[in-house]
Amino acid sequence: MMQAAQRMPLDGRAPYLADHQPGGVPLLPTALCLEALAAACARLRPGMALEAQDIRVAEPCLVPVGGQHEVQALLEAPAGEDGAVDATLFSTSGDGACRTHMQARFRPQAQRPASDLLQEAIDLQTPVPGATVYRQFFHGPAWQVVADAGWNGGRLVARLATGLPPLLHPGPRPGVLAPRLVELALQSAGLLEIACSGRSMIPHAIDSVRRFLPLDEHSGEPLLAIARRAGSGGAGESGAIDIDVCTTDGRAVLGVRGYHTLPLPFASDPHSLARLAAALRAPGGH
């Protein structure tokens, strides 16, 4: 078995952390934990399109306000696994304890037929504006990726915001898995859960993430995230969520399958959540 480790410094002053502070403490977003592992695996498997599978979100990666921290990606390539890489993101705290933040397996991405990469065109009418969404969501400007969102045939549709500030200075930098599109997918799933149950949730596990087209927030093309309950074709009260990020004419850009959540570990205002749920469900009904 081949092993490799890569170190990645974190800066609590950078927008990717300064604008992601639930409870007032900078927290490395799930989308960037996954991107850190994907980028490390891409360096180990240059030129190979990789699919992330069996993603598990473990202990949150907290960073001192305005301070520095370091995470490491440990990569293990099992013998006879046809290019697969097992990746673990971890850090060492001041007391010397090793804390695991995320684990995933990356495999070479199989070719899919073009017909399987198409969604129908989406027309989102009378959506809820992002300003209303972010009265509930804690995200600062760098992570306010939802321009507007609403109900469409039993699904939650969120439109990608334009003019987002760079996550890093100088920026922008290309991402292996387009972390802001992953974030758009996860936030759309969060809005689906609020619309269905009035509950605010956090990431726990993801079955797979695949990128199909080299588009991101810098491409200048309007993009949508479409979230629905897995296997139901619609929105039930519980269970995993599937999300497709696609162009407005139906070309698939990013696919997230089997997104699982846990209850938010800190209190949120149930009346505010109920108002947002009602607003999200109003455009298309259910």
Distance from C-alpha of 145 to C-alpha of 197, rounded to nearest angstrom: 22
DSSP state of 23: G
Indicate whether 183 and 202 sit together in one domain. Answer: yes
Indicate whether 248 and 121 sit together in one domain. Answer: yes
CA-based torsion, 132, 26, 264, 124: positive or negative: positive
The beta strands (E) that lie in the chain are given as 2-11, 50-57, 68-77, 85-92, 98-108, 128-129, 146-152, 155-160, 201-211, 223-229, 241-247, 252-263
The one-letter amino acid code at 285 reads: G
pLDDT tens, residue by residue, 172-221: 566 899 999 999 999 999 999 999 988 888 999 999 999 999 999 999 99
> pLDDT value at position 233?
44
Indicate whether 152 and 232 sit together in one domain. Answer: yes
Indicate whether 129 and 141 sit together in one domain. Answer: yes
Contact in structure between 205 and 163 (CB atoms under 8 Å)? no
pLDDT tens, residue by residue, 219-277: 999 999 999 998 754 444 458 999 999 998 889 999 999 999 998 766 677 788 898 99
Contact in structure between 5 and 38 (CB atoms under 8 Å)? no
CATH number at residue 269: 3.10.129.120
Taking CA atoms, 220 is separated from 16, 162, 217, 223, 250, in Å, by 21, 8, 7, 9, 16
Question: Which of the residue ranges 8-17, 99-108, 124-133, 242-251 would you say has the lowest mean pLDDT?
Answer: 124-133
> pLDDT value at position 16?
93
Indicate whether 71 and 138 sit together in one domain. Answer: no
Residue 286 domain flag: no
CATH number at residue 94: 3.10.129.10
Residue after which a domain boundary falls, among 111, 130, 149: 111
Residue 18 domain flag: yes
Average pLDDT over residues 75-91: 88
Residue after which a domain boundary falls, among 111, 126, 143: 111
Q: Which helix (H) or strand (E) holds 271?
A: helix 270-281
Indicate whether 7 and 50 sit together in one domain. Answer: yes
Structural domain count, the chain: 2
Is 0.85 topped by the overall pTM? yes
Indicate whether 254 and 238 sit together in one domain. Answer: yes
Indicate whether 138 and 271 sit together in one domain. Answer: yes
Residue 256 domain flag: yes
Indicate whether 96 and 59 sit together in one domain. Answer: yes
Taking CA atoms, 251 is separated from 50, 183, 185, 218, 245, in Å, by 19, 19, 15, 17, 9
Distance from C-alpha of 245 to C-alpha of 181, rounded to nearest angstrom: 7
Residue 233 domain flag: yes
CA-based torsion, 39, 44, 49, 51: positive or negative: negative
Indicate whether 256 and 130 sit together in one domain. Answer: yes
Residue 108 structure tokens: 């070479």
Residue 106 domain flag: yes
Contact in structure between 69 and 63 (CB atoms under 8 Å)? yes
Residue after which a domain boundary falls, among 111, 126, 144: 111
Indicate whether 166 and 248 sit together in one domain. Answer: yes
Indicate whether 146 and 128 sit together in one domain. Answer: yes
Q: Is the pLDDT of residue 286 over 50?
A: no
Domain that holds residue 235: 115-281
